[in-house]
Amino acid sequence: MKEEQAELLYIYMPEANAKACLRAQSLDDIPDHMRFLDHDGQRKILAVDIPPYAAYSTIEAIVERYHSVGCGIVEDSDIESCLVIPATNWFYYDSDKFLFRRSGLGSFDVIAIAPVLLDANVDFEELSE
């Protein structure tokens, strides 16, 4: 999805952390191992425009996005829940990695949390045959 089309973004994480973010209306409870050091030297968070029920994606694909920015210890088991947040101009879209980056944590409108209904991994080519 293109940056200008995204109205909602999703930040995937363990369920307990998502609940804490929702209660506090803050991004402060995003686990440290799911934050990354960007090329500008700032710690950032990753968001995607892939909803937790998307038939076209997998948990493995979400984990790969975290790995692509240097969050190498993120595992499938970390992708239990996600924050549903509004897309704002505080996020930068990285078209090379198909993800959104944001520096800064703190107060933020967390609209909801949602369970992850994505498959662990799916061979999409096999499904299309």
Does residue 113 fall inside a structural domain? Answer: yes
Does residue 128 fall inside a structural domain? Answer: no
CA distance 34 to 59: 15
Q: What is the pTM of this model?
A: 0.87
The order of strands in the sheet holding 112-115 is 8-13, 81-86, 112-115
Banded model confidence at residue 106, pLDDT cuts 50, 70, 90:
confident
Does residue 106 fall inside a structural domain? Answer: yes
Does residue 61 fall inside a structural domain? Answer: yes
Does residue 47 fall inside a structural domain? Answer: yes
Q: What is the pLDDT of residues 50-102, one digit of tens each?
A: 999 999 999 999 999 999 999 999 999 999 999 999 988 888 899 998 999 98
Does residue 117 fall inside a structural domain? Answer: yes
Q: Domain count for the chain, please give it.
A: 1
Domain with 115, as residue range(s), is: 3-123
The order of strands in the sheet holding 92-94 is 35-37, 43-47, 99-103, 92-94
Banded model confidence at residue 3, pLDDT cuts 50, 70, 90:
very low
Q: What is the pLDDT of residue 119?
A: 87
Does residue 92 fall inside a structural domain? Answer: yes
